[in-house]
């Protein structure tokens, strides 16, 4: 086994960390954490399916492409729950999903990596993150921002999609020798995925602690 496979397996397995924390608080969850939990479950299922297909040496890109669309939709819905202007967000959601579906069906097709959809998802989600941060700075919803679950979740989203976008932009300059190029990208992407899952886990943990402490205080006389 080589270095990049350790990273790949760890990346694949890292989804378990946030899922485990989500299990701890299965019933008492705020709506935005429930959205995240759905995303994690879909992610796990698509990864498992890919693994099965890989063992039979079948094309797995179509799973990744469809999962990408589902992830984009769920994350936009997640941000929508935190922001105003629902009409604007809904139209962004519809347009982008429509475009991605068109892309996967007719433009780039399901059996190659949908780079176009990926770029659009990156741009949209980076914008949402930045707008959400701006919104936080204006709204000042809580004294200790580091205890806000959504903050960590959006850190995760920003890291993952921001990093992805960066990789996409500099893809041609990042190569370490001709052969390493593809692998380097793959490893870096896996690293980003690990970090994202850890940040999601922190967010879920913050939400878990919040729920637990409020339950405890409601039990107190």
Partner 1 sequence: MEGLSQGEVIYIIVLGSLGMFLFIAGFAVFISMYQKRMLQEQEKRRIIELDYQQQMIQSQIDSQETERKRIAADLHDSIGSLLWAAKLNIAYLGRLSNFNGEMKDSYLETMKILDQSIDSVKRISWELTPEAFHNTGLSSSIMELCSRLNGKGQVIVFKEKGNQLFWKDDRALMAFRIVQELLNNAVKHAKANSILVNLNWNSNRLLIEVQDDGIGFTLNDKIRNGVGWWNIMHRSKMIDAAIEVKQNHQQGSAIELTVPLSS
| Neighbouring C-beta atoms of residue 168, cutoff 10 Å | 13
Tokens of 213: 């402490």
Which residues have C-beta within 8 Å of that of residue 25, sequence separation ≥ 6? Answer: 33, 204, 207, 208, 211, 212
Q: Which of 15, 187, 202, 204 binds partner 1 (CB under 8 A)?
A: 187
List binders of partner 1 among 48-87 (CB under 8 A): none
Integer Cα distance of 171 and 165 in angstroms: 10
- Interface with partner 1 (CB under 8 A), residue from 119, 126, 136, 210: 136
Q: Which stretch binds partner 1 (CB under 8 A): 48-56, 75-83, 113-121, 132-140?
A: 132-140
Tell me the C-alpha distance between 116 and 87, whole Å: 25
Q: How far is the CB of 210 from partner 1 (least distance, A)?
A: 18
Does 165 contact partner 1 by CB under 8 A?
Answer: no
Distances in Å between the Cα of 24 and the Cα atoms of 12, 30, 42, 175, 208 are 21, 13, 18, 42, 8
Letters for 23-52 (x = contact with partner 1 by CB under 8 A, - = none) are ------------------------------
Rounded CA gap, 161 and 145, in Å?
22
Q: Which is nearer to partner 1, 8 or 116 (CB)?
A: 8
Q: What are the tokens at 179?
A: 């052969």
Between 51 and 102, CB nearer to partner 1? 51
Contact 60, 53 (CB under 8 A): yes
Binding of residue 171 to partner 1 (CB under 8 A): no
Does 4 contact partner 1 by CB under 8 A? yes
Distance of CA 203 to the CA centre of its chain: 13
Q: Is 146 in the site for partner 1 (CB under 8 A)?
A: yes
3 contacts partner 1 (rule: CB under 8 A): yes
Q: Which residues bind to partner 1, rule: CB under 8 A?
A: 2-4, 133, 136-137, 140, 143, 145-146, 155, 158-159, 162-163, 166, 174, 176-177, 180, 183-184, 187-188, 191, 195
């Amino acid at each position: 086994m080589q270095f990049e496979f350790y990273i790949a397996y760890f990346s694949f397995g890292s989804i378990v960390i946030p899922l485990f924390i989500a299990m701890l608080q299965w019933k008492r969850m705020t709506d935005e954490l429930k959205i995240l939990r759905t995303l994690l479950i879909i992610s796990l299922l698509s990864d498992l399916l890919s693994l099965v297909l890989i063992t039979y040496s079948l094309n797995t890109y179509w799973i990744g492409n469809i999962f990408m669309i589902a992830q984009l939709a769920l994350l936009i819905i997640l941000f929508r729950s935190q922001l105003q202007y629902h009409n604007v967000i809904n139209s962004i959601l519809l347009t982008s999903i429509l475009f991605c579906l068109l892309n996967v069906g007719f433009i780039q097709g399901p059996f190659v990596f949908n780079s176009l959809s990926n770029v659009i998802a990156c741009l949209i989600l980076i914008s949402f993150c930045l707008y959400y941060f701006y919104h936080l700075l204006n709204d000042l919803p809580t004294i200790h921002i580091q205890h806000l679950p959504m903050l960590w979740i959006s850190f995760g989203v920003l890291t993952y999609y921001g990093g992805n976008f960066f990789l996409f932009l500099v893809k041609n300059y990042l190569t370490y020798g001709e052969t390493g190029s593809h692998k380097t990208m793959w490893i870096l992407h896996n690293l980003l995925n690990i970090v994202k899952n850890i940040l999601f886990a922190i967010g879920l943990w913050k939400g878990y602690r919040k729920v637990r402490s409020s339950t405890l205080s409601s039990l107190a006389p």
